[in-house]
Structure 1
C-alpha cells in the first residue's frame, strides 16, 4: 500500500477540476475533508466549467466548507450545462489558463474520461493535455447513465462512517438545488462508498482511476 504524504514538510496543494458545480464535492469530497481535518490541505485551486450564478453561489459555499480551514481559489467558466463539447475551444482555453495558475499542484483531481456524461468525459480527456507532469486522479460520479463499470478504479481513499456522513451533510446543506433529484440521496453515496471500501478493505472509500504514475526514490 502506498501513502500520500505532504511534500517537503508542507501541506498538499490540490487542483480540483469539475464540469459542474457539485462534481468535485461528490467525486472527491471525502478525500478533501480528510486532508483538511489532518491539517494536510494547503493551497486549493478549483475550476468549474459549466455554471450559472445561483449554482456558483452554492459551489462557493460548499467548497469553502469542505476545504476549511484552507480557503479555495475558485474559478467558474460560465459555460452551458451539457454543452461543453460544443464549446471545445472555450473549454480548452479555460483549462490551459487555469493549469498555468496552479502549476505547483501536487495532485490534480478530475472527472473520468470514461464517464458517460459528455461534459465530464471531455474534461477527463483534456486534463492530461494541460497537466502532463502531474499526478492526475480521475474521480467517479454516480448517475442515471449507469457508467460505473466502464472504468475499473485503481486508487482508493479510505473513509470512516463519520467522514462519509459529513460529506453528505455538507452536500445536502449547500446544494438545495439538487435535493429533488432521485440520485442525490445519502444512500446513493453511502452505497457506492461501501462498495469501494470493501474493495480496499475499509469501511468506506472514494475510488479513482490513475492514467499514469511515476515512481522515484528520493
Structure 2
C-alpha cells in the first residue's frame, strides 16, 4: 500500500517554500501526498472585499498549479483569518486538523516550525502537535517541522525555539520542480536579496545540501518518529 503523506500549512506557498522538493520526491516514490491550507492567506492585506476575494481566487489557483507540478494528490483550503489565527481558539484549529488526519490517514505529517515569526505558522504547529497526540491507533508515525524563508530565520534569538534541523532530504533531483512550483506563486515572490525570492529559495536549498554533502536538500526538525 502506498504511504499517505499530509502537508499541513497555514498559507498557499508555504508548502513549496518549506518542503516542495520533498513533496515531489515522495510523490515520485509512489507516496500519496495531500496538502491542506488552513488560513485564507489574503484578507489581512489592503484592499476592498471584492479585490481581496479576487486575490484569494488567484492564490488558490496558483496553489493548485504548484501542487500539480509537485505531484500532489489532493489540495484543500480553510478560511481561518490570515495573520490572525491567534484570535481563534486553539481547540477550533485543532478540530479543523483532526478531520484531515482522519480522512487521509497519513503516516507522515509535515507542518510549520514552532518558532516562526508568522503567528499563523506558530498556531498551526500547536494545533498539529495537539491533533497528532500519540494515542493508540493514531496513524501518524513521523511528525516533521519545516522552515519557511522570511519567517523561520527572522525570529530573534531567545524569542522562540530556534530551528535546529536534524532531518534532511536530498532534493538534488527535484529542486527544479520546487522552483517551477514556486514560479506559480510569482505574485508572492520578492526581489533578491529577499529570502522569499527565487534565488533565496534556491540558495537555501544549496546551502542545506552543502551541510550534508549533497547538491541540494531541505531541512526539517523531527518532532516524533515511531519505528
Q: TM-score range by the shorter chain?
A: 0.7 to 0.9
After superposition, the Cα gap between the structure-2 partners of 1:164 and 1:127, relative to the gap in structure 1 and judged at 3 Å, is: same
CA contact (8 A) 1:62 1:171 kept: yes
Q: Does 1:55 align with 2:59?
A: yes
1:53-202 → structure 2 map (5 Å cutoff): 53-67=57-71, 71-72=73-74, 74-88=75-89, 89-102=91-104, 104-133=105-134, 134=140, 135-143=142-150, 146-147=154-155, 150-160=162-172, 162-172=173-183, 174-180=184-190, 182-202=194-214
Report the counterpart of residue 34 of structure 1 in structure 2.
25
Q: 1:176 to 1:192 in 2, by over 3 A?
A: closer
Q: How many residues align structurally?
A: 198
How does the TM-score come out when normalised to structure 2? 0.79
Quote the RMSD (CA, aligned, Å). Answer: 2.1
Distance 1:197 1:180 in 2: 23
SS of match in other structure, 2:213 = coil
Which of 22, 34, 48 does residue 45 from structure 1 map onto?
34
Change (3 A) 1:148 1:154: farther
Normalised by the size of structure 1, how large is the TM-score?
Answer: 0.82
Per-residue deviation, 1:180: 4.3
| Distance across 2 between alignment mates of 1:95 and 1:35 | 22
Task: Could you tell me which runs of 5 or more consecutive residues in structure 2 were left unpaired when the two chains were aligned.
Answer: 41-55, 135-139
How far does the alpha carbon of each residue in 1:157-200 deviate from its partner, in whole angstroms, 9 at most, with x for none?
0121x52122112211x113213464332221122112211222
Q: Mind listing any 5+ residue stretches in structure 1 that lack a counterpart? A: 1-9
Give the 3-state SS of the residue equivalent to 1:156 in structure 2: strand
Deviation (angstroms), 1:54: 2.6
> Which one scores higher on RCO, CA 8 angstroms, separation ≥ 6?
2
Matches of 1:101 and 1:148, distance apart in 2: 37
* Residues 90-142 of structure 1: per-residue CA shift (max 9 Å, x gap): 4232112222222x211101011121211101111221211224211101011
